[in-house]
Amino acid sequence: MIRQQSVALIFRFQKEVLAMAPRLALLSLILAFGVSVAFATVTTIRQVHQENASVAVHAAHS
């Protein structure tokens, strides 16, 4: 009796996890995309800042 309830509980839990899997996969993709966009933004801002600083240094030396 208890074993049957345990097995039924495990199967129900597996069904719930499998039902959530597509949502978790989508959330993971969205999160990964957000992290990559943030990284690219920071890298671009840093590069532009370095170029502007380099131009200012060359202008000061001229």
Mean pLDDT of the region 7-19: 86
Q: How far apart are CA 8 and CA 47, in angstroms?
A: 58
Q: How far apart are CA 41 and CA 36, in angstroms?
A: 9
Which helix (H) or strand (E) segment holds residue 28: the answer is: helix 2-61
- Reply yes or no on whether the pLDDT at 62 is more than 70: no
Q: How far apart are CA 24 and CA 18, in angstroms?
A: 10
pLDDT score for 14? 87
pLDDT digits (tens, 9 = 90+) for 19-33: 888 999 999 999 999
Q: Give 44 or 55, the one with higher predicted confidence.
A: 44
User: Which pTM does this prediction carry?
Assistant: 0.61
- Reply yes or no on whether the pLDDT at 48 is more than 70: yes
